[in-house]
A and B are shown apart, each in its own frame.
Chain A
């Protein structure tokens, strides 16, 4: 039998290349109506009065009065209204929908609705903390009493926009009298379904969610679509016709969730031998106007606080700050990219302060099997980072380049980051919150159906999940069907997030396939599997103590840059990556994740600029918000290491987020070397680099 990692052609390549794959905007329905959102023009205050133009026949206003159930979008922390009733907490907050047959007319009505506000002073400073976390490891901060030397630095990260090429969108319609069906560009069919049930006060049977082809998501379509779906569901109930709610790019960029800006302070206690005794880590993130997923993002950031290193004594704390800005949310990496930038730079900066070789210093603290994690859990599985680092250095000629580029006149630099990513939901999330359920169905004609709610948004699970089943059952992949998820047909296998799909959902599907194989002679049957946390995994969500993740994927990124000595524009020359992902289910698909994730991660570090001025996002389209083009990419090389995890299918762990989180520190290490200055903030734009160049005190 072939090794499952041997690549096959993606099963949806044909329909996507020919343009015949249907995304939400490509779906036609008779009598389709258009919905456009009326939004606030202030960042903070109250609605005093709304005056409406006369509505032509067939045109509707849908607002908070049309919400039959709770006017709250069910996320994790339920503090976002579907339509605001009175209070305005950020600019462009949704107030109502206008719905009607002609889109231009709908736009005109939206523009003619006059809203008077009582404006209040908005808060943009990070001062209102809504969530506070704190945990210790070992002796906690008391270790600082024994310190011979303390080193402390601050780091800062900016917004990042997911910039999926397909904007957010839904179509909603009534099936029969009471049933609302929603087709949307989403990652999590059951998040949407459960949110709509609460808002409509509906039964399970009366809400149906279907996923079409999804044009990229990267976390941006995790929780935000629930808001749109709830609004649209209320509109469908009222208008009783099919309605399309599809954002144009500008609306998408102004109002959808982004990666949280963060400010991170690291302190290290060192002994006389210049060894690290412990860290104090403080992380603040800007949630925007609602908490939403921000608490979970902060916890993932803090858990990643020691990076790929083992630090025996820790004091970790953080705040989620509420400001009158657009709510932030999920984005590939989920708190880890902010923290990896900070911890990797901090390790480098400590070594520089101590005047010791930073690579040797960093390698000395690399986590090893059986070390305690930041949350005092255990790295149970083998860690092969040393081997991976050697491989990365070999293929990149790292040592030679590092010496060559350290010459005064060199405009080039090379940097290397170390990192891991916890696979699946944090802590007991999988076992208590998600409780994934999958089904595998065998038909009379020996066709097998994968019944899960996992979404293919480009990462390739329409191919890889089928591959797992076909390989275990030893049947052709064409005999394994995986249709687009439809909540009427598939169980809740959980959201398509957290690098969990192959490891958790694929793991369950793999176990179901093994059982199916034993019973293959039965003509027609269904195998169902429900996730059970491995018994040895114990975690306390309150105290942040125990095994935060069942498994970890590991990585090394090496980036080589040339920084233009006049414009200070960094150019990416080459990248090399080495990943331990347990087991590759399809090499070409994994390499695709590797290239794409690293490109996003590097761009987060030096290219992608988004900011707000008094709550106004200044980059509102793809012209203002620069993402990498083909011109911005260097040569990319990736090596995959196998290091199987017992409960993943064939040993597979997570891939998707791992490939992003190390990009920013790797590129910034390289830029630091090229410019001979330290960097404390990303994105490291030419403007920021110029500032550092002009800072006479700043030197490596």
Chain B
């Protein structure tokens, strides 16, 4: 057991835990952040994606030991932003949500992509989403949603 301090959704937090636990489990169980989903547990599907010092990572692949003093943002934290609202509206209007299990991770991927590249081409969107699996939509409507968000939210990213 050890004490780990980090920033979670903008707030400094501190927990006593075993260092080999996955960030995914700490967030899902200890902080009850249910927007983080476990799809594969091996860093392949992106359902557990979070922002880690502004970079997208899969929280199943990060031990909590690596999180000391890091800035971690989950869908719960991101959902308080105006950029979230733009993406959310775009996801709804383009029909990008079916079962919803991959959706929070897709939102994090979209935010991460637009942060780096506010005007991505279709090909760049596809590359930006390639770490997030969706089995329902065939990605078409998710890609359109990100195009729409980039347009509507011009200047926000």
Contact = CB atoms under 8 A, between A and B. Distances in A.
A600 B45 CA distance: 16
B41 interface: yes
Nearest to A7: B95
Size category of the binding interface on chain A: 35 or more
Nearest to A623: B44
Given A249-B42, A629-B130, A18 B88 contact: yes
B79 A600 contact: no
Interface in B107-130: 107, 125-130
Contacts, number: 177
B22 to A, nearest CB: 12
A452 interface: no
Interface residues of B, number: 52
Nearest to A27: B34
A21 interface: yes
A246 B121 CA distance: 39
A599 B100 contact: no
A16 B125 contact: no
Given A248-B41, A595-B137, A629-B133, A165 B102 contact: yes
A633 B40 contact: no
A630 B99 contact: no
Interface in A421-456: none
B135 A165 contact: yes
B71 interface: no
A19 interface: yes
B25 to A, nearest CB: 10
A10 B128 CA distance: 25
B135 A164 contact: yes
Interface string A587-623: 0110110011111100000000000000000000111
B92 A596 contact: no
A218 B138 CA distance: 14
Given A163-B135, A600-B135, A19 B76 contact: yes
Contact of A10 (B36, B92, B130, B143): B92
A382 interface: no
A627 interface: yes
A484 interface: no
B36 A592 contact: no
B130 to A, nearest CB: 5
B150 interface: no
14 contacts: A17-B92, A19-B36, A19-B74, A23-B101, A163-B135, A164-B99, A166-B39, A215-B39, A596-B135, A596-B137, A596-B138, A622-B44, A630-B128, A630-B139
3 A-B pairs with the lowest CB-CB distances in the bound complex, closest first: A19-B35, A16-B100, A215-B101
Given A17-B88, A19-B76, A21-B100, 17 more contacts: A9-B93, A14-B92, A17-B91, A17-B103, A23-B101, A166-B101, A215-B99, A216-B98, A250-B41, A589-B95, A592-B95, A592-B136, A592-B137, A595-B139, A621-B40, A629-B129, A629-B130
